[in-house]
């Protein structure tokens, strides 16, 4: 995988992949939804969505707002602070609307065709509540590279996953440790 890939699906769950697409301040350089088309591209590429919705500019703006709310909530979880009420309320408001309807295709789950984009947003918001509001949250963590802001749900056996990806942080940190060790041995 060349770094950075256009879209990052390393969050382990839909809501976390959703917030790894850009945002305000330092995250602006990662922005992947500059147009409604790009947001549709993201949904199509997402392993949890996998279909191309129609997205309007107003819906892209609404997606930005939901992304900020989930981002703020997730930061509070990482720093063990109380999640901001406005973020919790925003996520709950979107989750209260109709979500995507699952159906079968050759024994596999797919989403029913022609869903309005608002249903995608509701599914994302519900996923965030399921993650942060249940025991799942115990598997939620930040990448062990202190300068990396990416987070993920650790589904690895033994729960020992440390890095967002080996490409971005795992190899960097291993190389740094190796350098520190080698230096220690020669001096």
Instruction: Residue 121: count other Cβ atoms within 10 Å of its Cβ.
Output: 23
- Contact between 11 and 17 under an 8 Å Cβ cutoff? The reply is yes
CB-nearer residue toward Zn ion: 128 or 150: 150
- Contact between 64 and 54 under an 8 Å Cβ cutoff? The reply is no
Binding of Zn ion by 143 (CB under 5 A): yes
| Integer Cα distance of 30 and 14 in angstroms | 18
| Integer Cα distance of 129 and 72 in angstroms | 13
Binding of Zn ion by 39 (CB under 5 A): no
Computed on alpha carbons and rounded to an integer, the radius of gyration of the chain in Å comes to 18
Binding of Zn ion by 162 (CB under 5 A): no
In whole angstroms, the minimum distance from the beta carbon of 148 to Zn ion comes to 3
Binding of Zn ion by 167 (CB under 5 A): no
Binding of Zn ion by 153 (CB under 5 A): no
Candidates 145, 153, 154, 167; binder of Zn ion (CB under 5 A) is: 145
Binding of Zn ion by 148 (CB under 5 A): yes
- Contact between 44 and 50 under an 8 Å Cβ cutoff? The reply is yes
How many chain residues interact with Zn ion (CB under 5 A)?
6
Q: How many CA atoms lie within 13 A of 65 on its CB side?
A: 17
Tell me, residue by residue from 95 to 114, as one string, x for binding to Zn ion by CB under 5 A and - for no binding. --------------------
CB-nearer residue toward Zn ion: 88 or 150: 150
CB-nearer residue toward Zn ion: 67 or 168: 168
Phi-psi region of 13 (alpha: psi -120 to 50; beta: other; left: phi over 0): beta
Binding of Zn ion by 169 (CB under 5 A): yes
In whole angstroms, the minimum distance from the beta carbon of 168 to Zn ion comes to 5
Residues that bind Zn ion (CB under 5 A): 143, 145, 148, 150, 164, 169
């Amino acid at each position: 995988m060349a770094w950075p890939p256009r879209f990052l699906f390393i969050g382990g769950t839909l809501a976390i992949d959703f917030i790894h697409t850009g945002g305000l301040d330092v995250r602006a350089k990662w922005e992947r939804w500059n147009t409604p088309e790009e947001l549709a591209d993201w949904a199509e590429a997402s392993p949890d969505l996998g279909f191309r919705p129609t997205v309007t500019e107003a819906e892209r703006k609404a997606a930005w707002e939901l992304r900020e709310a989930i981002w703020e909530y997730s930061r509070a979880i990482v720093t063990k602070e109380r999640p901001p009420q406005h973020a919790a309320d925003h996520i709950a408001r979107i989750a209260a609307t109709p979500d995507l309807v699952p159906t079968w295709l050759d024994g596999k789950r797919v989403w029913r065709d022609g869903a309005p984009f608002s249903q995608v947003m509701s599914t994302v918001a519900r996923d965030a509540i399921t993650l942060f509001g249940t025991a799942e949250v115990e598997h939620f963590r930040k990448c062990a590279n202190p300068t990396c802001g990416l987070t993920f749900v650790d589904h690895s056996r033994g729960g020992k996953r440390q890095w967002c990806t080996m490409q971005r942080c795992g190899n960097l940190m291993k190389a740094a440790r190796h350098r520190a060790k080698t230096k220690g041995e020669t001096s």
